[in-house]
Structure 1
Amino acid sequence: MDAEINPDRKGNLGLALRRRILTMELPPGAVLDEVALSEEFGLSRPPVRELMRQMAGEGYIELEANRAARVSSMSYQSLRDFFLLAPMIYITANRLAAENGTRGQLDVLKKIQQSFRKSVDNCDVEGRVFYNDQFHRQIGEMAHNVYLVPSLRRLQIDHARIGKVFYKYPNTPRMQEELELATQQHDEMIATIEKRDADAAGELARLHLELSRRNMAMYAAPEGLEAPSL
């Protein structure tokens, strides 16, 4: 049965591909095999190609004429660009979420946070990456700004992949302490958004990015490239 009859299969493929890319199961530059994906999800190739075009527009995939689709690449420049732009986007997202988010969206955010905390407690690296991405994506949705969301989503792709470089290292007391701090900051973001305190929500985003910056720079920044302060 094809995607026109069973759209759930196409949706499942999209969710699976996004998760595999964010968690680095599919590393940057990896070739995507249309035939294998079609067989795995019970789809013909046209809906698979359509999904890849959509994901290319979101920044997950690179499409070039006469070449197989590939997972979006990462470079020293993309790392630098991330650290330069991320603070502006994340802080704005948090501020607007505090101003515009709905009660229903806040409830979803709380459920995502429960899953993130469970992943931290269980030392589930894949879960940490995935649910952290979902947490900040939900805040972006709560901002209700059509210009902000695409930029935030593109940033999040590399945020998750850079973060995976950090998370893959053996757990240490320092790492566990900072993971707990990140989890606590998520809880505080929820509280400030619920109170509609835009200033506090924005400041928490800045602190949260600074924590990420320190950890990512330690494990992922190229030698001689210092991530800019937030």
Structure 2
Amino acid sequence: MIPRHPVRPEPPGILNLPAVAERRSLREQVTHALRAALVVGELRPGAVYSAPVLAAEFGVSATPVREAMLDLAKEGLVETVRNKGFRVVAVTEQDLDDFTELRALIEVPATLQVARSASRADLEPLRPLARETVAAARAGDLTGCAEADRRFHLALLSLTGNRHLVQTVGELRKRSRLFGLAALVESGRLLASAEEHERLLNLIIARDLDGVGRLMSGHIRHLR
């Protein structure tokens, strides 16, 4: 049973939501943007958000926002609150520790597998993604940084050829919430963390397995 929280609707004009582009349906765009905001903690655990308020933030009608929230409810990231909106499902400290451990158990050996088998031609297309993470970090764009980080790591893991592994890691990333990004901003280390992506790519291309293992392990755990 999910514990009850006090209903705290959020007033408009206080969120730092990513811009909505036009290359996907509105529902897909809003779902993607809300998921990114959830991952970095822009949408706070336990808080209730109404579709009209979020729609005003995006500059769209309430319908695609409501549909997007229903998609996120199916993923277990939010829950419906009758006549109020949607509450962000909280995750416990133990949950976050467990998700981090699972990611390390899967992603470190998978990245080492890529380092053993992938060619430079396979890896170089990931460099723009690594640099996009750095650009977002320099701009202080948490959601943009989290999204670029997600795309980089899932693209890297896709080089294992195991789509189920990629899907599993993608689900873990959704649920783990990268609250550590805010701490990295406060400590001034967000840029250094973002720059690790290109360092990781260079280590993989050099087939420095020890370096890859150390960097990847630290990269996952310092976000926690």
* TM-score (ref. length: structure 2): 0.66
1:169-226 deviations in Å (ceiling 9; x for gaps): 243xxx47xx53x44532233235556x4x82x862553332553x456xxxxxxxxx
- Compute the displacement of 1:35 (Å): 3.2
The answer to which structure has the higher helix fraction is: 1
Residues 62 and 71, structure 1, Cα contact 8 Å, conserved in 2: yes
Matched, 1:208 2:216: yes
Question: Alignment partner of 2:48: what SS?
Answer: coil
Judged with a 3 Å threshold, the aligned counterparts in structure 2 of structure 1 residues 203 and 37 are, in CA distance, closer, same or farther, namely: same
- 1:24–1:164: 8 Å Cα contact kept in structure 2? no
Q: Deviations over 1:16-36 (max 9, x none)?
A: 212222232212233232234
Amino acid at match of 1:191: N
- Offset of 1:112 from its aligned partner? 1.4
Cα distance, 1:64–1:15 mapped onto 2, change above 3 Å = closer
Q: How many residues align?
A: 198
Match of 1:189 in 2: 200
Segments of 5+ residues of structure 2 without an aligned counterpart are 1-22
The answer to whether the 8 Å contact 1:125/1:167 transfers is no
* Contact in 2 for aligned 1:87/1:209 (Cα 8 Å): yes
Question: Secondary structure of 1:161's match?
Answer: coil
Question: What value does the CA root-mean-square deviation take over the aligned residues?
Answer: 3.6
Q: Which residue of 1 aligns with 2:5?
A: none
Cross-structure match for 2:60: 42
CA deviations 1:51-94 (Å, max 9, x no partner) are 334334445x2335858433332211112212321211211442
- Taking the aligned partners of 2:151 and 2:30, their CA distance within structure 1 comes to 17
Maintained 8 Å contact 2:96/2:176 = no
TM-score (norm 1): 0.65
Q: Say whether 1:113 aligns with 2:130.
A: yes
> Mean Cα displacement is larger for which, 123-132 or 10-19?
123-132
Contact 1:31–1:68, Cα closer than 8 Å, also in 2: yes
- 1:144 aligned partner: 161
Inter-CA distance 97–8: structure 2 relative to 1 (3 Å threshold): farther
1:124 to 140, 152, 161: 140
Change (3 A) 1:9 1:95: same
Question: Would the aligned equivalents of 1:102 and 1:142 in 2 still touch at CA under 8 Å?
Answer: no
Correspondence list, 1:1-230, <5 A: 8-38=25-55, 40=58, 42-43=60-61, 45=63, 47-58=64-75, 61-63=77-79, 66=82, 68-98=85-115, 99=117, 103=121, 106-107=124-125, 109-120=126-137, 122=138, 124-126=140-142, 127-157=144-174, 160-171=177-188, 175=189, 179-180=191-192, 182-194=193-205, 197=207, 200=209, 204-213=212-221, 215-216=222-223
Amino acid aligned to 1:76: E
- Percent identity, please: 22
Read off the aligned partner of 2:197 and give its amino acid letter. H
**What is the aligned partner in structure 1 of residue 17 from structure 2?**
none
| Letter aligned with residue 209 of structure 1 | S
Structure 1, unaligned runs of 5 or more = 1-5, 218-230
Structure 1 letter corresponding to 2:201 = I
Change (3 A) 1:14 1:211: closer
